[in-house]
Amino acid sequence: MAEILLGVTGSIAAYKAAELASSLTKAGHAVHVILTRAATQFITPLTFQSLTGQAVYTDMFAEVQVHDVQHISLAKRADLVLLAPASANLIGKLVGGIADDMLTTVCMAAHRKRTLLCPAMNTAMWENPVVQGNVAKLQALGVELMQPREARLACGDVGRGALAETADILARVEEMLHDAP
C-alpha cells in the first residue's frame, strides 16, 4: 500500500479527480487529498472524504486536534504526489516557488518525492509559451508529465488541454510506484 497525495486544483476536470481517488483507494492505497480553494468551487471535500476514508485538506491554518505540522508530515509520508487536474496557476506557482496555500506548501516540502503532473486547461492556455516554459522547468526538476489530451473542452473549443484519461493516469501511477527507488 502506498501513500499518495492527490492535489486537486480549480478546473472542471476536478470531478475526474474523485474517480482517481476512488480507484486508488480501491487498489489499496491511502489517498490524502488536498484541494485548492478554487477546486472547492467545483467539488467538495466531503466527496473525497467519503471516497478515501481520509481527512481532506483545504486550509493551511485549520485547527488540528493533535500538534502536527501537516504540510511537512503529509510531504514526509508521501510515496507519490499526483497533481490532477493541475491548472496553469498551480504550474506557475510551483515554478516560482510560491507556497501560499496548503497544496503549494506541501509540494514545496515534497520536492524530493516522485511527482506526476496532469494538466487540464483551455488549449490557448496550454499552448501559452509561459505555461509550456513552466512545464519544461518542472520536467527538468524531475516532475513527470502526463500530456493533456485533445478533446472538446468545457468552453466548447476542441483542442489539447483535457485531463488525461483516468485509466492512463492510474496506470502511470502504478508504474511509478512499482519503479520507485
Peptide bond into 85 cis (omega under 30): yes
In this structure, the number of other CB atoms found within 10 A of the CB of residue 41 comes to 11
* Residue 155 is a catalytic residue: yes
84-94 burial, b at 16+ Cβ within 10 Å, e below that, comes to bbbbbbbbebb
Distance (Å, whole) CA 40 – CA 38: 5
Among 62, 155, 158, 171, the one annotated catalytic: 155
Catalytic machinery residues: 155
